[in-house]
Amino acid sequence: MTEELAARLHSLGYRLTPQRQFVLEAVEKLGHATPDEILAEVQQRSSAVNVSTVYRTLEVLEELGLVRHTHLSDRAPTYHSVGDHEHFHLVCRNCHRIVSVDPHEVAPLAERLRDEHGFVLDIGHLAVFGHCVECEEREEDDA
């Protein structure tokens, strides 16, 4: 991965710095993580990295197509590696559980949006908010 990353960065006029490598490795390790969570992970390896470096690096890595972001809360964006399978997210507003779902689950909706509205859905950026069954059952039991 390091050689591939170095080649992609070089083709766009960037070089592979330790900070870029640390950030990408942190995203891959954490799965879904905010810039602050990525910073905490990176700082375990290098205290020379600050939050602005993490944000700039995430921007470059997203431009290269190596990471994606989505908004899984009303706070900072959450990043994940595209080395992982393409997916969208189900987010429970109560317990904050996040479930990654394969794109074929939303394919009929994506096709309908394209056919009826001329709109192509960006599945990797999609987050659907609601309540998981466990939280809904707890609410019913409490009522």
Asked if pLDDT for residue 63 goes beyond 70, the answer is: yes
Asked if pLDDT for residue 32 goes beyond 90, the answer is: no
What is the pTM assigned to this prediction?
0.73
Please report the beta strands in the chain, taking only residues with DSSP state E, as ranges in sequence order.
Answer: 67-70, 78-81, 88-92, 98-101, 127-130
Distance CA 131, CA 127 (A): 13
Same domain, 63 and 127: no
pLDDT 10s digits, 85-125: 778 889 898 998 888 888 899 999 999 999 999 999 888 77
**Domain finish residue from 51, 81, 111:** 81
Structural domain containing residue 69: 2-81
Distance CA 96, CA 57 (A): 27
Same domain, 94 and 133: yes
Degrees, nearest 5: CA angle 16-1-103: 115
